[in-house]
Structure 1
Amino acid sequence: MRTRARTTLFAAAGIAAALSLGAITPALAGTSQQTGTKSAATAAAVQGDPRAATTRVADFYGAYIDSIWDNEDPAASANAKALRKFYLSPAEQKTVAAFEAKEHADGILFAQNVPVKWSATYTGSGAGHATSLVTLTWSDGQNPEVTKIKVQSDLQTRKITDLQPAG
């Protein structure tokens, strides 16, 4: 009987938490839930697949940029280092470190500052690797500055094995 009561209590707490989260999440995400008006913001769906190389590249760049953007957060630097360790192959980690020592710039972004937007696009695969093109946008406005990075991922390990500035 005690186990059932405890289970019921946990289930009720979980439902209450989910309902509360559902109520506050749009506000935290910057969307509006106005009803009955035509100006209500539409929600953009974001999805992913941990098996897809380009999704993993996008996940890495999104999390990495978030970490370095929030550079005043004490956990940001440690998080960026952990992301590099998790997503990059050991050989690519060494290549990035060598680039940074030589160029005094971030070896993931090939820059000294942080982009305001990013995207990742699948461009092909072969010989056990997938290639993605990461587009970094550095400013807002009509003519934003954009750079591109060619990212190669190993299809077996899902690790990023090569980063190269593109075009």
Structure 2
Amino acid sequence: MLARTRTKLFTATGVAAALSLAAITPALASSAPHPGAHRTVAVAATAKGDPRDITSRVADFYGSYIDSVWTTDDPTAAANRKALRHFYLSAAEQRKVTAYEAREHADGVLFAQNVPVKWSVAYTGSGAGHATALVTLTWSDGANAEVTHIKVQSDLRTRKITDLAQAD
């Protein structure tokens, strides 16, 4: 009886280990790079967020949005971008973004026709019921990488982004 219990324990442990390895192996492997890009693997020491923090929320939006724009081989990416805009942007800001895109033939969230390779978000202040953040978009790698900035204003009550403006 003891041998059977021990065998079941070893079997369960082995199955759990195999499932764990199967679950983390894809996460350890780098995904296919953007077409034409050099393959690099970046490892972040930590990533964190707080849904109550407006700056984290802006960072979540830009991270998810850029991932969706970057992903050209997934047919759900366009629908995801639309859903992200609806969720994170106020109705008025959604209209402004759409008008910008019709006028400029460029993405109204990124203010560009291409996709940045890196982004960061920094809190810049708050007052009158709003918080502001500065989004820094990096467009290439290397010492002379092009960088642009976007000033983002969010409503503290609704947590929606109410204004996007080029800061350069």
- TM normalised by structure 1 equals 0.79
Give the counterpart letter for 1:21 in structure 2: A
Which blocks of at least 5 consecutive residues in structure 1 are unaligned? 1-11, 30-40
Which stretches in structure 2 are left out of the alignment for 5+ residues?
1-12, 32-41
22, 28, 31: which one aligns with 1:26: 28
User: 1:14: how far off?
Assistant: 8.6
Q: Would the alpha carbon gap of residues 129 and 74 (structure 1) be closer, same or farther in structure 2, given more than 3 Å must change?
A: same
The 5-angstrom pairing of residues 128-143 of structure 1 reads 128-143=129-144
**Aligned runs of 1:65-104 on 2, under 5 Å?**
65-104=66-105
Distance 2:57 2:87 in 1: 11
Matches within 5 A, 1:32-71: 44-71=45-72
Counterpart CA distance in 2 for 1:54 and 1:15 is 38
Q: Name the residue aligned to 1:113.
A: 114
Match of 2:160 in 1: 159
Amino acid at match of 2:60: D
Report % sequence identity. 67
Structure 2: how far apart are the matches of 1:117 and 1:97? 24
Give 1:44 deviation, angstroms: 1.0
User: What is the alpha-carbon distance in structure 1 between the residues aligned to residue 43 and residue 76 of structure 2?
Assistant: 32
Q: What value does the CA root-mean-square deviation take over the aligned residues?
A: 2.4
TM-score by length of 2: 0.78
Report the residue type matching 2:142 in the other structure.
G
1:26, CA displacement in angstroms? 3.2
Aligned length: 147
The residue identity in structure 1 corresponding to 2:51 is P
